[in-house]
Amino acid sequence: MNLRQLEQFLAVAETGSFSKGAARAHVSQPALSTAIGKLENDLGVQLFNRLARQVTLTAEGHRLLASAKTIVGECETVRAALKQTAEREVLSIGICDTMDLTSLAATLEQFRRNNGSVRLKVWEDNSQVLIDQLANGKQDLIFLAVTGDENLPSSWETRHLATENYVIATAHDHRLAGQKSALLAVLHDLPFIARRHCEYRKAFGKLLSKQNIRPKVTYRTSQDQRALDLVRAGLGAGLFPRSLVCSDFHVLEVEDHDLTRSVLCCWKQSKLSAGLYNFLCYIENMEFRGSIKHDSNN
């Protein structure tokens, strides 16, 4: 006995006719009669009384009827659920690789739990790659950390989420650990951990060159965690967005320059699907860790 046989059995039982049952089951009447006969042989009972102008259920047929309805009904429910899952909207989100993911990950998980009709697909990369991907339609929405030098198309929609400072981070036993702030010139001839992927790297380099400040770069890396580990180990100071630096480090504010970046999200207005609209509503209440200042106008 299989599901198809039960569906054909119900077709005959509920229509009271092999001809009508065949039409409902989308098979020929001889094929349906053969299938019902095989089912009866498998079960070892007669399910129908085959009269000249009417087909009725036997006692055994009535007993099978209730179970058949339950089994077929549950299978239809599973089919519908699987179809809905397969047809879920896929929302592709790009995240800048220099952003702190603590609060953002929590928002993504909360959205996923409350929006079962949307499947999230998350990609992490540098800002320029994400900008290119959104332009090419590979992402629906991107989170960027920008300094103002980026060239974003005017047709894109953007939402400013927060602004944060860059700070100098050192180990707690570093010679600068007694200071709360310092001039940028303090970095001159100081062992320094350089973040190659930092969005502020070019502007920071020009600023140092203009003031003839030459840090002693001891390590270059494109991984924030590795850079932080090196600073924690006392191998040099580093310049980081404030949200990336936890209590394991000593933090110095930069006195003579306002080094900041903005955290924002971008999307194309023409691609505002239901899933994207719902996600934008979620990020209205998103919070960022650290000393980031939120934009009160959004």
How many other CB atoms sit within 10 Å of the CB of residue 64? 21
Q: What is the mean pLDDT of each run of 10 residues along the chain (298 residues)?
A: 87 89 90 90 90 86 89 82 64 90 81 84 90 93 86 88 93 95 96 91 90 96 93 96 92 93 88 83 62 41
Residue 154 confidence (pLDDT): 87
Residue 289 confidence (pLDDT): 44
The number of helix segments (H) and strand segments (E) in the chain equals 9, 13
Residue 84 confidence (pLDDT): 58
Query: What's the distance, CA 168 to chain centroid?
Result: 32
Residue 169 confidence (pLDDT): 97
| Measured distance CA(120)–CA(66) in Å, rounded | 41
Residue 236 confidence (pLDDT): 96
Question: Would you say 130 and 142 are in contact if contact means Cβ atoms under 8 Å apart?
Answer: yes
Q: For residue 244, what is the DSSP state? A: G
Question: Quick one: CA torsion of 214, 219, 222, 226, rounded to 10 degrees?
Answer: -130
Residue 46 confidence (pLDDT): 92
- At residue 258, the 3 state secondary structure works out as coil
Structure tokens, 46: 């007669």
Residue 295 confidence (pLDDT): 45
